[in-house]
């Protein structure tokens, strides 16, 4: 158990819908990262927050947004969903910038 929790574990929805994925980092970790993994592909970095502020952006679509709240939990919002958005979404946390990341179990999103 990495100490990072993600909910829900599975999510099935239809195209055009909007979903919210939630992540609680390890206690004491200030950085939260979101990654997408599609069909056994590599981890695609989406976005990073550090202590509530957006720190870095990767290959995140404009239809996607995220935020980190004062209690340091984070949410990833995916809107106008397309079939190609079906993937595993991982959240990770770390104590600081560039430090070892601890990953949550992931949320499997299926868009039908």
Nearer to other proteins (CB atom), residue 58 or residue 79: 58
* Of positions 25, 30, 85, 90, contacts other proteins by CB under 8 A: 90
Stretch binding other proteins (CB under 8 A), from 14-22, 66-74, 75-83, 90-98 = 90-98
Long-range contact pairs involving 79-84 (C-beta distance under 8 Å, separation at least 24): 79/18, 80/16, 80/18, 81/13, 81/14, 81/15, 81/16, 81/17, 81/18, 81/19, 81/111, 82/15, 82/111, 83/15, 83/111, 83/112, 84/38, 84/111
Which residues 1-60 are close enough to bind other proteins by CB under 8 A?
A: 2, 4, 33, 35, 40-43, 45, 48, 55-56, 58
Report the interface residues with other proteins, using CB under 8 A: 2, 4, 33, 35, 40-43, 45, 48, 55-56, 58, 90, 92, 96-98, 100-106
């Amino acid at each position: 158990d990495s100490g990072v929790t993600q909910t829900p574990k599975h999510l099935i929805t239809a195209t055009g819908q909007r979903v919210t994925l939630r992540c609680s980092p390890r206690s004491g970790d200030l950085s939260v990262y979101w990654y997408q993994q599609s069909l056994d592909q590599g981890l695609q970095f989406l976005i990073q927050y550090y202590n509530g502020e957006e720190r870095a952006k990767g290959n995140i679509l404009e239809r996607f947004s995220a935020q980190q709240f004062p209690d340091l939990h984070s949410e990833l919002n995916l809107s106008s969903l397309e079939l190609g958005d079906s993937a595993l979404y991982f959240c990770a946390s770390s104590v600081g910038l560039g430090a070892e990341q601890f990953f949550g179990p992931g949320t499997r999103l299926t868009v039908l």
